[in-house]
Structure 1
Amino acid sequence: MKPVRRGLRLALVVAAVLVLAGGSLGYVLHARQRERPAEQAASDDSFGLDVPGLYFRDSATGRVARLPGDGAPRVVGGPSCERFHAAGERALCLRKLPGLPARTQALVLDRRLREVRRVTVPGIPNRARVSASGHLLSWTAFAVGDSYAASGFSTRTSVLDLRTGYLIKSIEDIPLTIGGTRYHAPDVNYWGVTFARDDNRFYATVSSRGRTHLVEGDLRNWSARAVRENVECPSLSPDNTRIAFKKKVSGDPRAPWRLYVLDLAGMREHALAERRGVDDQAAWLDDRTLAYALPGRDGRASDVWSVPADGTGAPRLVAPGGSSPVAVGRYP
């Protein structure tokens, strides 16, 4: 009987080893599946920023696409992103990571849209900007809530300087002046950074106590001052003389904002020909034209539209099923 018992024990040990090995294999496969979204950030080898055109997020695939501007069809081949922007030699791709709590992964990409750095922050991807030189990047994530129209939302805005590698995880502690007085409040939120050509000055939205302000910031001196009220999601023109923004014009939560342009020299503003509610940080295609996203006809996917920046003309549909537009090179 002893040999039989020893054989039985050996069989049980072998079975246990196989079960453990199978569990380990399953764990490895599961881990690889969880890491797969990060692998999907890589773009096709033939797709990069070397071709001028309108780059944007394709709603059908979630990947970055390009419209050459010569009437050719769109080309989809970039990384998977929720938000995208590019300038100089760099691009910024924001992706929402799976699971709870919500986390945003900011991927810094080169001109071939290959990853060179990644940063993970809490929240849902919301805004992304790269300075004209490609040296400075900024992104905003919703830490609480998912809409500027809702009460009780909270944002987290970061700035990354690629010249030094220094990351400002949140700009909320920047000394802020409103009305010539140093301002302190527990509900201060920043979002929608846009950089000047000097890679030092920037503009952004600050919100506190139910009001929004356009602030002008100075990275070198680490300071910010409010220059105008009721300005959200600013976007500085290529010549650095005007700011496109969304202005709250209604209490209707479905369409509270309208697109405006502010002349920084005289602080005069004018409404654009787009009369629908726009909840986006508009992008300048050139010094005369703006692009932005609006909800599509199905209520889910969005479309990219353009409109003249001087208030004339009419909106034009540019890229159905698109969002996060940015012009690379000359477009069209």
Structure 2
Amino acid sequence: MALQSIWFFLWGLLWAVFFMTDGFDFGIGTLYPFIGKNDDEKRIMLNSMGPFWDGNEVWLVAAGGVTFAAFPLVYSVMFSSLYSALMLILFALILRGVSLEFRSKVDDPGWRLVWDICIFVGSFAPAVLFGVTFANIFQGLPLGESGVYHGTLFTLFNGYGLLGGLLFLCLFLVHGALWLAIKTEGELHDRAVSVANKVWVLLVIVAVAFLIASKSETALYDNYITNPALFIFIVLNVAALLGVKVFLVKKTYFKAWFASALTIVLCTFFGIIGLFPRLLPSSINGDFSLTAYNASSSPLTLKIMLVVVIVFIPLVIAYQTWAYNLFKGKVTKEDLSYDEAY
């Protein structure tokens, strides 16, 4: 049981790290057509995330791979029940990647406008759909005894699901605006700071609404009530969210971005802790839920995977740390002249 519990929280951690890293990419892509006022500014925005976005998606592959290997039954039910939503996310991610590579290949306004729209759609759609998907998991899916999903794509777009989508979108918008504040200069920098301040207010409102709705729409608070010490995670989450504003006021934008990253991780773990040990709760009957204990691989598989994770995850972290340090400077117009620039 200990192995299943370890893998449950590793599964949650991989999703949290993905949202933390790729979240600012989604935020930048969503803000892209609104605060980039000319072609140079738009290219600066793209190049601010250019060296990182594909590496950030390694965590998505890792989260999906862990779901498949550690909890194969969950993987099969999730990717059949949520097939339409997950395929929309996949197509949007592909569209975004292609758009980033193709946009600057032809110096034509019409060509670039098409790919600009695709960049927005490929960033906005995953940000919202991930939130909708995880909110529905927190709420419970209409799963039958055999794991059959008794619903449609539109079943996911309920009030609580849409609130989760809005929460994720606001988190990523603030995260992306803060990254732009770190990486840019001049008027673009000022607009990014202004957006971060404005969206932060909306984020606080949505986060409070989500916490209140979670009490009536989900069973997430059961674990917290049983173990009151767990409320420290919610307190830390609130502190991190308030820290974003404090550091914004102080104009220490990297600290604000770090507080935003911590907010995203703790928001994810608010749900992960509340779910434990359920991975896919059933809203039809709690006995139909898939948990870390009834849907896991064999103990031998979990042990082998744990060794693999202990060896390779630090290598991924080391590489990303090196990459972020290498490209830690601000992006300027001079950088756009390089052949490698977007």
Which TM-score bucket, shorter chain as reference?
under 0.3
The structure richer in strand per residue is 1
* Higher RCO, 1 vs 2 (CA within 8 Å, ≥6 residues apart): 2
Question: If the length of structure 1 is used for normalisation, what is the TM-score?
Answer: 0.27
> Looking at CA atoms only, which structure, 1 or 2, has the larger radius of gyration?
1
